[in-house]
């Protein structure tokens, strides 16, 4: 292969265009001018072009180092409390969900963790994993039903028919993922148009403060009865006495039946 020498081509300097309008009988002429300095094409030598596929992607070592760096960054964001913005945002229709995701996209950090949301929020990771397992299970189950139904009717389904129907089933089971992706897209668009970093950090502090206030209530609910309400002193004494009191011996008939 011969090495091509750098060449420069230019577009024509002027080109005349003629256009006619239905509302006017006279023809109008417009002149278009191309500036040679701004419309040049540079052809590079072959030596500067990468042909080997391995040179177009990161190496395994670079990929592993990037993963480690992102994991460290996620841990830093967790320590700063940023994960609270993604809590209960996956399949929650509440209006405040979009507000929280918007704030997440506006955090001012040199290394953004976009794409690492599941690592930042265990709640989000659990929701996504559950949806994924449910979607796979439903698609495989529907595929078996399709094959059984086709065998009963003596019909052979084509691969395209199977894919089309299973795609509809998968789409129905993954609606929450589509909604979450659209919310992230809206948040990124808003962050570019109107960046409000101070409001994002203020919301992080507010949500973390609310979480700290709710922790004592959660501990109280854990020690409550099945109804979720705290037990009264009289009921707690009765339950304690019932737990300590010895059981009565069974009668002979009850023992034989048991």
- What residues does each domain of the chain span? 8-48, 64-216
**6 Cβ partners below 8 Å, 6+ apart?**
42, 43, 44, 45
Asked if residue 97 lies in contact with residue 191, where contact means CB atoms within 8 angstroms, the answer is: no
pTM of the model: 0.58
Over residues 231-248, the mean pLDDT reads 45
pLDDT tens digits, one per residue of 2-23: 454 444 444 444 444 444 444 4
pLDDT tens digits, one per residue of 24-33: 444 556 666 6
The span from the CA of 184 to the CA of 104, in Å, is 9
pLDDT tens digits, one per residue of 166-215: 999 999 999 999 999 999 999 999 888 887 888 989 999 999 999 888 87
Give the residue, 203 or 227, on which the prediction is more confident. Answer: 203
Alpha carbon of 220 to those of 55, 119, 229, 230: distances in Å? 59, 30, 9, 7
Asked if residue 175 lies in contact with residue 52, where contact means CB atoms within 8 angstroms, the answer is: no
The angle formed by the CA atoms of residues 124, 129 and 132, to the nearest 5 degrees, is 125
Q: How confident is the model at residue 146 (pLDDT cuts 50, 70, 90)?
A: very high
């Amino acid at each position: 292969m011969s090495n091509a020498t750098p060449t420069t081509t230019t577009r024509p300097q002027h080109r005349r265009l003629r256009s006619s309008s239905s509302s006017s009988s006279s023809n109008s002429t417009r002149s278009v001018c191309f500036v040679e300095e701004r419309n040049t094409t540079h052809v590079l030598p072959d030596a500067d072009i990468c042909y080997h596929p391995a040179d177009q992607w990161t190496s395994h070592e670079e990929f592993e180092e990037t993963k480690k760096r992102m994991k460290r960054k996620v841990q830093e964001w967790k320590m700063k409390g940023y994960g609270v913005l993604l809590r209960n945002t996956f399949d929650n229709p509440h209006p405040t969900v979009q507000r929280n995701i918007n704030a997440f996209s506006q955090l001012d950090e040199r290394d953004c963790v976009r794409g690492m949301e599941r690592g930042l929020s265990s709640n989000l990771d659990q929701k996504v994993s559950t949806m994924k397992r449910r979607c796979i299970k439903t698609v495989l189950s529907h595929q078996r039903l399709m094959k059984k139904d086709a065998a009963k009717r003596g019909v052979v389904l084509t691969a395209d028919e199977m894919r089309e129907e299973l795609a509809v089933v998968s789409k129905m089971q993954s609606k929450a993922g589509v909604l979450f992706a659209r919310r992230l897209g809206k948040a990124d668009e808003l962050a570019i148009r109107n960046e409000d970093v101070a409001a994002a950090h203020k919301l992080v502090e507010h949500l973390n403060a609310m979480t700290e206030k709710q922790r004592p209530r959660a501990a109280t609910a854990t020690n409550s009865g099945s109804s979720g309400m705290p037990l009264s002193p009289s009921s707690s004494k009765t339950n304690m006495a019932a737990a300590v009191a010895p059981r009565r011996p069974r009668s002979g008939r009850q023992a034989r039946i048991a």
